[in-house]
Amino acid sequence: MNSILTRWRAGPLLGLCTVALAIACGARSTLAAESAVTIPPPAVDEPVTAGHSEVAVLAGGCFWGVQGVFQHVRGVTRAVSGYSGGAKATASYETVSEGNTGHAESVQITYDPHQISYGRLLQIYFSVVHNPTELNRQGPDSGTQYRSAIFPANDVQRHVAQSYIAQLGKAGVFKAPIVTRTDPLKAFYPAEGYHQDFLTLHPDNPYIVYNDLPKVADLKRLFPSYYRDKPVLVSAAR
């Protein structure tokens, strides 16, 4: 772990985590949480096909907030925190947190393309979920495991993602260049159970209050037609 905040995120000892995070947040009071950016929708998007759901895998910092936002997106039927980019043998929180496994903290998003498109998911991802101009970090968390990365499941997703990155770069909507990678989706490994639904289960956790609840509020403000108040939870499907 490479920051005071992230050192205390590991493990299920949430009481101790909350105390430590409260101290850390106070120490970082001069910093602001990531701000949402209003951006245009993608000019290139996937075609709508009939009769099935699709999957997107996105990484944008701590998976607590990424999962928490997409669980509130209308058309998303499941959002699971996990790891992508490395080997199965190293897909555990303590190992990934060392920063040298190739994994990124990621979220696997299952969605209904008749309700929301892959491109629209990417618009939400770039607009409110994270800051795509931060290299190998996101807010208080640093390391390659917190990188901005899209893991396309097929050539269509890859084309949509790369076209959108180029479109946003040309439009100059961000103050710095986009550093988001598009890496082949080799596999996705679900994270430990105590990481699932973390934002919903621990809304008073200072890390969540400071870093992630504002993102859910931004989703509701900037994408009202895609926002739903009741999140779709991993625990509800078990």
Write phi, then psi, for 217 (nearest 5 degrees): -65, -40
Considering only CA atoms, which of 44, 225, 206, 209 is closest in space to residue 124?
A: 225
- pLDDT band of residue 52 (cuts 50, 70, 90) is confident
What is the structure's pLDDT at 32? 45
pLDDT tens string 73-106: 999 999 999 999 999 999 999 999 999 999 999 9
The angle, 0 to 180 degrees and rounded to 10, between the axes of the packed helices 213-222 and 63-70 is: 30
d(CA 166, CA 121): 16
pTM, two decimals, is 0.88
The CA–CA distances, whole Å, from 143 to 113, 136, 183, 216 equal 33, 5, 17, 24
d(CA 63, CA 234): 14
The CA–CA distances, whole Å, from 5 to 18, 27, 31 equal 10, 10, 13
pLDDT tens string 158-172: 999 999 999 999 999
- pLDDT band of residue 236 (cuts 50, 70, 90) is confident
In this structure, are strands 54-60 and 148-151 parallel, antiparallel, or unpaired? antiparallel
15 forms bridges with which residues in the sheet?
A: none
C-beta of residue 81 within 8 angstroms of C-beta of residue 190: yes
Tokens of 178: 């986009």
d(CA 106, CA 103): 8
What is the structure's pLDDT at 238? 65
What is the structure's pLDDT at 20? 37
**Counting beta carbons within 10 angstroms of the beta carbon of residue 135, is it exposed (0 to 12), middle (13 to 18) or buried (19 or more)?**
middle
Give the length of the chain: 238
d(CA 197, CA 182): 26
Active-site choice (25, 59, 62, 104): 62
Higher pLDDT, 67 or 2: 67
Q: Is 62 a catalytic residue?
A: yes
CA neighbours closer than 13 Å in the CB half-sphere of residue 76 = 31
> Where are the chain's structural domains?
36-201+211-237
What is the structure's pLDDT at 33? 57
At residue 80's C-alpha, the angle toward residues 79 and 81, to 5°, is 130
Tokens of 149: 């990365």
Considering only CA atoms, which of 200, 218, 211, 188 is closest in space to residue 3?
A: 211
- pLDDT band of residue 49 (cuts 50, 70, 90) is confident
**Is 189's pLDDT higher than 80?**
yes
Which architecture, in CATH terms, is 36-201+211-237?
Answer: 2-Layer Sandwich (3.30)
3-class secondary structure, 149: strand
Tokens of 156: 């269509």
pLDDT tens string 105-145: 999 999 999 999 999 999 999 999 999 999 999 999 999 99
